Amino acid sequence: MENQTAHRNEAETEQVPERRYYARPKVCQFCVDRQLIIDYKKVDLLSRLITEEGKIRPRRHTGTCARHQRALANAIKRARHIALLPYTGKYWEASRY
């Protein structure tokens, strides 16, 4: 009995699912390129850092450091307040009509 259960456990541990993607190294693009400045008027830069629903992408998705993530959040909120960026995403706009 013990040999059978040990054999099953070994077979289960050998079957590791393959990764569907390769995780690229998380490097803050603002730390690497000092010329790149976070500004609420740069809508093209800020729109890449929000989701389709209009939410701010987390650090684990964008790879930004904590200091620049806080600055990004403030810039996105300012751009939303001035109506440069939408509070809701494209999904809301399409389903509203």
In tens, the pLDDT along 16-67 reads 677 677 767 788 999 999 999 999 999 999 999 999 888 999 999 999 999 9
Note whether residue 6 is domain-resident: no
In tens, the pLDDT along 63-84 reads 999 999 999 999 999 999 999 9
Q: Domain range for residue 65? A: 27-95
Q: How many domains does the chain have?
A: 1
Question: CA-to-CA distance for 64 and 3, rounded, in angstroms?
Answer: 50
**CB-based contacts of 43, cutoff 8 Å, min separation 6:** 79, 84, 85
**CB-based contacts of 97, cutoff 8 Å, min separation 6:** none
The residues with which 50 forms a beta bridge, in sequence order, are: 56
Nearest CA among 94, 36, 26 for reference residue 58: 26
Q: Residue 38: give its domain's CATH number.
A: 4.10.640.10
The residue with greater pLDDT, 80 or 92, is 80
Q: Does the pLDDT at position 12 exceed 60?
A: no
At residue 80, the 3 state secondary structure works out as helix
Note whether residue 16 is domain-resident: no
